Amino acid sequence: MKILHLDAAITGENSVSRKLTADITAKLQARNPAASVTYRDLNEGVPAIDGAWFEAVRLAPASPSAEQQKLIGISDAYLKEVQDADVLVIGSPVYNFGITAQLKNWLDQIARAGVSFRYTESGPEGLLTGKRAIIAYTAAGTPLGSDLDFASGYLRHMLGFMGITEVEFVAADRLAMDRDAGMARAQQALDQIAA
């Protein structure tokens, strides 16, 4: 088993999502001692896509410049980590009712027509199939699945669009209202995750 462990919280050691992703990864490793883990802290910086990225990565010139090769290499590295993984463990704290900018940038880097998805006569088809994603969803006040939660549905959709349809959530939500209850809900969900 190959695990890709991603964190996106800006709160460092105080992050609940980082604690949960570590717990999820540890549980998977305990059940699969030979599992390998690739770790990436998205808070260290994921470049946003822009016009230069589009020219380099999406338009794929036959003779890319050195700067274009750098942009292609960054995107390819993110994508290869996903392609190589069997399980993605993703920390997704909710900021302003949505996912973090870093996590959005990462999704933009890996959502590539012809590589992670393709368009067919019957509609889009995800190409990153056979993978599982476990999302550590944390929020101070936004309940998972509520009308105010624009994070979990978006994540489920984007991952599914690229072929990752087995998506589970370990949610510690409403932490500002009752932290102990939120953590208890997360622990219960974590206990139910099949390793």
The amino acid that residue 107 corresponds to is L
Is 15 flagged in the annotation as binding?
A: yes
3-state SS class at 191: helix
User: H or E stretch including 179?
Assistant: helix 179-192
Scanning 87-151, the segments in alpha helix (DSSP H) are 101-110
Question: Which residues neighbour 110 within 8 Å (Cβ) at sequence distance 6 or greater?
Answer: 75, 78, 79, 82, 116, 162
Is 115 flagged in the annotation as binding?
A: no
Is 92 flagged in the annotation as binding?
A: no
Whole-number Å distance between alpha carbons of 162 and 170:
21
Q: Chain centroid to CA 116: how far?
A: 14
Q: Any idea what the Cα angle at residue 109 is, between residues 108 and 114, rounded to 5°?
A: 95
Query: Which residues sit in the known binding site for FMN?
Result: 15-17
Which residues are documented as binding site?
Answer: 15-17
